[in-house]
Structure 1
Amino acid sequence: MLKKSFLAVFTLLMLTACGNKDEEISTEDRAKTIEDGTVGFEMVGDNVEEATNVPAEEEKAILAAFDEYIAALNEEEINRYMQTIAKDPRGFKYDEEKVYATEAFDQFDSKREVANVTVAKYKDEEAEVFANMTLHSLQLETNIEHESAGRQVTVFVKEDGAWKVTSVYYIGDDSKSSTGK
């Protein structure tokens, strides 16, 4: 029972931020999602094409915003983390995210490793950043460790001239996840 409750809380922790969507969807549903603009590209396979229309300065700013988002999560600094989040995000509520993230930071010691970070879609006021992600987490109360890997798309919007996280989509890779002591 303890491991099940840990995994439930851990899954939420993995997704900290932004109306996160951990979805196993069919090809038909995936196509529909892509068509309605929810995700700007398909997260299948290992290759993600880089957007070719990103101005160099904007790409630098977007990737810096992503790096700060990950660093704030890894350092578990709630005020710093909340500064990376859009004030009027899509798919979640700003105030609820602050409460949730505070609780997650209090219950877990977590570190995210990212690889293959790519700006995969870009418009003047919105960008999607793809990354392979591995989360190493320790539940403080039980001392249970967990590792989870997957692919994440972090959607940014431009707010007052700065790139802020507005939503996150995550697809886990169960074959690379483990729980142990």
Structure 2
Amino acid sequence: MLKKSILAVLTLLVLAACSNKEDDLTTEEREKVIEDGTAGYEMMGGEVQKATNVPANEEKAILAAFDEYIASFNDKDIERYMNTISKDPKGFNYDEDKKLAEEVFDQFDAKRDVTNVTIAKYNEDEAQVFANMTTHSLQVETNVEHESAGRQVTVFVKEDGEWKVTSVFYIGDDTKSSTGNQ
């Protein structure tokens, strides 16, 4: 029972800022959404294909926004973290995401590690950033560790001249997740 409740909270941790409508989808359906629908990227030989139409200055700004999104989460800095989030997100509720992030920051020592960060789709109003993500967490109260891995597409929109997270699509890889005591 404890393991299931920890996994439920950690799923929320990983999915903070995820679309509510995506929560009801199966893994296969989420794959389809990411590959064919709202979020999208193409795989070439196991690598995500980089969007070729991104101006250099926008690429720098988008990747900096993504880095700040990850760093502020890892630093448990709620003000910085919420500054990376759109005030009018499409995939979640801003106030609920803030409350969830505060709960996660209070209850867990958590870090997100990202690799293969790639702008997979771009237009002047929206950018989709693909990343392989591993979340390492320790529930402070129980000392239970958990690690989860998956692929994430973070959708950014331009808001007041800055790139902000508007939705997140995450597909977990159950073969790379583990829970255990320290």
Normalising to structure 2: TM-score of the pair? 0.91
Deviation at residue 91 of structure 1 after TM alignment = 1.8
Q: What displacement does 1:18 show?
A: 3.8
Structure-1 separation of matches of 2:55 and 2:42 = 23
In structure 2, distance between residues paired with 1:158 and 1:26: 28
Q: What RMSD over aligned residues (CA atoms) do the two structures have, in Å?
A: 2.1
1:98 aligned onto 2:94: no
Identical positions, percent = 69
Q: Deviation digits for residues 139-167 of structure 1, max 9, x if unmatched? A: 11110000111100000000000000000
Q: CA deviation at 1:172?
A: 0.6
| CA gap 1:24/1:45 in 2 versus in 1, 3 angstroms | farther
* Deviation for aligned residue 1:42: 5.2
Aligned residues: 178
CA distance in 2: counterparts of 1:99 and 1:39, whole angstroms: 25
**What TM-score comes out, normalization by structure 1 length?**
0.91
- Residue 92 of structure 1 aligns to a residue whose secondary structure is coil
Matched with 2:53 is 53
Match of 2:27 in 1: 24
Write the letter of the residue equivalent to 1:119: I
> How far is the alpha carbon of 1:47 from its aligned partner?
1.7
In structure 1, runs of 5+ residues without a counterpart are none
Question: In the superposition, relative to structure 1, how do residues 46 and 34 fare at CA in structure 2: closer, same or farther (>3 Å)?
Answer: closer
Separation (CA, whole Å) in 1 of partners of 2:55 and 2:16: 29
The Cα shift of 1:128 comes to: 0.2
Structure 2 unpaired stretches of 5+: none
Distance 2:168 2:44 in 1: 16
